[in-house]
């Protein structure tokens, strides 16, 4: 039968004699004096089967010692007799002392603490009468039935210059705590690995100065931890941050950057510093198999260590709280636990989230290697979601505190300009009811509250929910032409037949060949004559019908691999070429962004061999820059704009369409405006700058109001209804 040993590791521990003797904590002191084990009741089952129990004792065993270090914060101590009895009752076999409280009261108190622990038969590591004594590892020998397994545990404190000035660290003939030198300790680990290659080597570093922080995000801490694994250590169980940090597998080892607290009876600063209230107890199960081989299995049991949340009764995590932790959970008779570092597929690690944030803020370059492979991209998306959630949470908190600041609470005349600046800055996602009332009181528009981009996306999402957007029917060219005829809008003369592409006979022009349903001008060809054919999408000229056929076949083949298909179906039409074949450069597109009776923006496009050129015009026929297609090499400098007669025709046409917005595309050639197509979903809608996104959004809101008014007053949209709902020749 296999023989199993359990080594348990717990984080920062103190009964809190010093912390609890504050005004208002009298009931906790009474509890400490009468029932000290009550503080451990919720987690005691996790440690009861331990053969060896090691924790970080972050205190000294002395009754009310006198502080000797000026400016040293939180000089912690605990009653010796009570603490020793509790440690023995818990089954503690060893304590680490390499932390930032062991020398709070000087070397004499440290030596007395060491003696008291020794007399209680509790081993110590990380502090001693000199450097050699302080830095020696704890050795545990496990006697199996067929073999012996040695376990070595190192500890040390990584701390700043201040602690050297305090005299915390042991020297050749001076008591103190062990430091954590990367090179020195790595060398010791490497030598030990050579001497005892089958041993288990564990390092329990104390990260001073990382209170309620993610030590796993600290580059040097990460480097140091990984260096110990590279040198031959199997496991790193850190502490000091008072909370659970990332756990990672690295080079065959496991690094738990911080296992957090055990029972540490201080008020804590979890909520104040936005730190998760969780820590872990590590149960390392070391099992000798029948053949004398040894297997190690780590179980990390999360516990809730925020005393303000638990009323000083540390407890095991519950099912709901597992949602806050990124790892996969298993469960045994002791409760929920994490086994090694299996991530929950629905969560990302803290380091992955921080890397995303660093890339978003520009602190790091976007690492496109992360986008290779489905699994890698899935991890990036999970991390991106958590990064966005964290940023949103922090921004909401920031805005909430900003709005409650004294400057923002002043009378309106004194802070109007501040609210005006804020109204132009804040995103609608972060506006609370109270904030909105403050903006409303000052009659300020929240710039981000209305967005053309949002309306377009909302319409598309509404359609996916099964709600029709009736103007979409105009996407079909033949019904759209029928509608244009009904409202008197000039459109190209069209062959009444619809063909499969293979059925088309070679055309010699002048005609247009195009799909009945496609997007982005894909498949639209202007045939001036048999030797001059313009591919409208690419702006390139072809020299024959055969070249046109090859071009179409190539695009259809490419379309098979596209997620967003350009060719909706194999249905083609032939129509009039409305420009003079001898003057092909005279053709321009005018794309009217019209909002039920109001034109706000016109995009003029000239299609040239080698690329298209663009110019935007406002309703007054003035050139404007919208943030879309206005690069120096994209601007159509010779653009001519439109005339009032053109504009009036489009505005009247928009009033026949029951939709707040349509982009109506017209072809201008030979001084004649001819209908091309209409769409409710214009490509590149996301490229408008903030000013134009707002202006177009306002136009949408106003158009929607006018449309509702007309519907309530009984407007019938006769031409639209006859085309799309009453004509027996059309299939809806």
Domain extent for 630: 587-722
Note the Cα 151 to chain centre separation in Å: 40
**% pLDDT > 90, the chain:** 67
Q: 560 with 604, same domain?
A: no
pLDDT, one tens digit per residue, over 542-581 is 999 999 999 999 999 998 888 878 888 899 999 999 877 7
**% pLDDT > 70, the chain:** 95
Mean pLDDT calculated for residue range 590-597: 97
Q: 174 with 37, same domain?
A: yes
Split at pLDDT 50, 70, 90, the class of 1 is low
Mean pLDDT calculated for residue range 481-488: 95
CATH number at 698 reads: 3.30.470.20
Domain boundary pick from 295, 323, 344: 344
Can you give the pLDDT at residue 340?
A: 58
Asked if the model's pLDDT at residue 181 lies above 90, the reply is: yes
Q: 516 with 621, same domain?
A: no
Mean pLDDT calculated for residue range 454-459: 94
Can you give the pLDDT at residue 731?
A: 32
Cα angle value 368/369/374 (rounded, 5°): 100
The 10 Å Cβ neighbour count of residue 79 is 19
Best-predicted range by mean pLDDT (314-323, 342-351, 352-361): 314-323
| Residue 66 domain flag | yes
Q: 673 with 700, same domain?
A: yes
pLDDT, one tens digit per residue, over 281-303 is 999 999 998 777 899 999 999 99
Asked if the model's pLDDT at residue 487 lies above 50, the reply is: yes
User: Mean pLDDT across the chain, nearest whole number?
Assistant: 91
Split at pLDDT 50, 70, 90, the class of 371 is confident
Q: 206 with 291, same domain?
A: yes
Q: 127 with 203, same domain?
A: yes
Residue 90, Cβ density class (10 Å: 0-12 exposed, 13-18 middle, ≥19 buried): buried
| Residue 111 domain flag | yes
- The per-residue b/e assignment along 16-35, b for 16 or more CB within 10 angstroms, e otherwise, is bbbbbeeeebeebeebbeee
| Residue 399 domain flag | no
3-state secondary structure 387-442: HHHHHHHHHHHHHHHHHCCHHHHCCHHHHHHHHHHHHHHCCHHHCCHHHHHHHHHC
Strands 599-608 and 532-535 turn out to be unpaired
| Residue 716 domain flag | yes
| Residue 23 domain flag | yes
Q: 54 with 9, same domain?
A: yes
CATH number at 203 reads: 3.60.21.10
Give 74's contacts (C-beta < 8 A, 6+ positions apart).
18, 19, 101, 266
Q: 521 with 631, same domain?
A: no
Q: 559 with 593, same domain?
A: no
Asked if the model's pLDDT at residue 729 lies above 70, the reply is: no
Can you give the pLDDT at residue 730?
A: 34
Domain boundary pick from 327, 344, 361: 344
| Residue 52 domain flag | yes
Can you give the pLDDT at residue 732?
A: 28
Domain count, the chain: 3
pLDDT, one tens digit per residue, over 95-148 is 999 999 999 999 999 999 999 999 999 999 999 999 999 999 999 999 998 899
């Amino acid at each position: 039968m296999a023989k199993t040993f359990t080594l348990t590791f717990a984080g920062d521990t103190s009964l809190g004699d010093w912390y609890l003797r504050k005004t208002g904590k009298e009931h906790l002191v009474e509890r400490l004096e009468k029932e000290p084990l009550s503080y451990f009741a919720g987690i005691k089952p996790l440690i009861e089967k331990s053969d060896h129990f090691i924790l970080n004792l972050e205190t000294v065993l002395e009754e009310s010692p006198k502080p000797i270090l000026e400016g040293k914060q939180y000089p912690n101590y605990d009653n010796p007799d009570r603490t020793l009895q509790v440690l023995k009752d818990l089954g503690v076999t060893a304590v680490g002392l390499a932390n930032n409280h062991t020398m709070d009261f000087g070397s004499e108190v440290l030596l007395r603490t060491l003696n008291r622990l020794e007399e209680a038969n509790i081993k110590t590591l990380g502090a001693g009468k000199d450097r050699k004594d302080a830095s020696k590892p704890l050795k545990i020998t496990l006697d199996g039935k067929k073999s012996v397994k040695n376990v070595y545990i190192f500890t040390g404190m990584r701390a700043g210059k201040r602690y050297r000035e305090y005299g915390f660290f042991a020297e050749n003939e001076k008591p103190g705590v062990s430091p954590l030198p990367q090179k020195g300790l790595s060398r010791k680990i490497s030598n030990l690995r050579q001497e005892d290659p089958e041993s288990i080597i564990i390092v329990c570093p104390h990260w001073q100065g990382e209170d309620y922080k993610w030590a796993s995000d600290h580059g040097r801490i990460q480097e140091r931890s990984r260096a110990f694994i590279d040198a031959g250590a199997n496991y790193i169980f850190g502490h000091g941050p008072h909370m659970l940090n990332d756990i990672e597998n690295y080079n065959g080892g496991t690094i738990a950057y911080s296992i957090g607290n055990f029972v540490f009876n201080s008020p804590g600063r979890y909520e104040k510093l936005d730190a998760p209230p969780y820590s872990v107890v590590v149960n390392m199960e070391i099992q000798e198999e029948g053949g004398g081989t040894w297997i190690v299995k780590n179980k990390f049991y999360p516990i809730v260590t925020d005393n303000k949340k638990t009323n000083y009764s540390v407890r095991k995590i519950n099912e709901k709280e597992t949602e806050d932790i990124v790892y996969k959970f298993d469960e045994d008779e002791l409760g929920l636990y994490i086994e090694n570092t299996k991530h929950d597929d629905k969560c990302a690690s803290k380091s992955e989230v921080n890397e995303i944030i660093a890339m978003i803020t520009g602190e790091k370059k976007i690492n496109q290697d992360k986008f290779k492979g489905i699994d890698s991209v899935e991890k990036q998306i999970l991390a991106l979601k958590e990064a966005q959630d964290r940023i949103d949470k922090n921004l909401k908190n920031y805005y909430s505190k900003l709005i409650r600041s004294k400057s923002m609470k002043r009378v309106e005349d004194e802070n109007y300009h501040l609210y005006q600046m804020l109204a132009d800055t804040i995103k609608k996602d972060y506006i609370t009811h109270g904030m909105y009332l403050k903006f409303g009181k000052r009659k300020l528009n929240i710039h981000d509250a209305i967005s053309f981009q949002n309306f377009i996306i909302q319409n598309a999402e509404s359609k996916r929910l099964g709600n029709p957007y009736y103007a979409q029917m105009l996407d079909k060219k033949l019904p759209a032409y029928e509608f244009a005829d009904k409202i008197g809008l000039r459109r190209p003369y069209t062959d009444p037949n619809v063909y499969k592409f293979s059925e088309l006979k070679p055309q010699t022009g002048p005609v247009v060949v195009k799909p009945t349903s496609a997007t982005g001008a894909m498949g639209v060809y202007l045939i001036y004559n048999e030797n001059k054919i313009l591919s409208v999408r690419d702006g390139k000229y072809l020299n024959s019908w055969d070249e046109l056929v090859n071009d179409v076949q190539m695009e259809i083949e490419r379309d098979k691999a596209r997620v967003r298909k350009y060719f909706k179906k194999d249905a083609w039409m032939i129509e009039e070429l409305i420009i003079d074949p001898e003057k092909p450069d005279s053709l321009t597109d005018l794309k009217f962004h019209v909002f039920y009776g109001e034109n706000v923006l016109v995009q003029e496009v000239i299609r040239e061999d080698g690329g298209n050129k663009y110019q935007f015009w406002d309703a007054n026929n003035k050139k404007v820059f919208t943030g879309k297609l206005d690069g120096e090499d994209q601007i159509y400098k010779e653009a001519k704009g439109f005339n009032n007669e053109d504009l009036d025709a489009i505005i009247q046409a928009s009033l026949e369409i029951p939709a707040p917005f349509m982009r109506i595309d017209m072809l201008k050639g030979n001084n004649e405006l001819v209908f091309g197509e209409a769409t409710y979903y214009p490509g590149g809608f996301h490229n408008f700058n903030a000013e134009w996104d707002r202006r177009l959004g306002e136009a949408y809101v106003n158009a929607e109001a006018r449309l509702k008014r007309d519907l309530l007053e009984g407007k019938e949209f006769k031409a639209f209804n006859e085309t799309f709902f009453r004509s027996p020749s059309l299939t809806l």
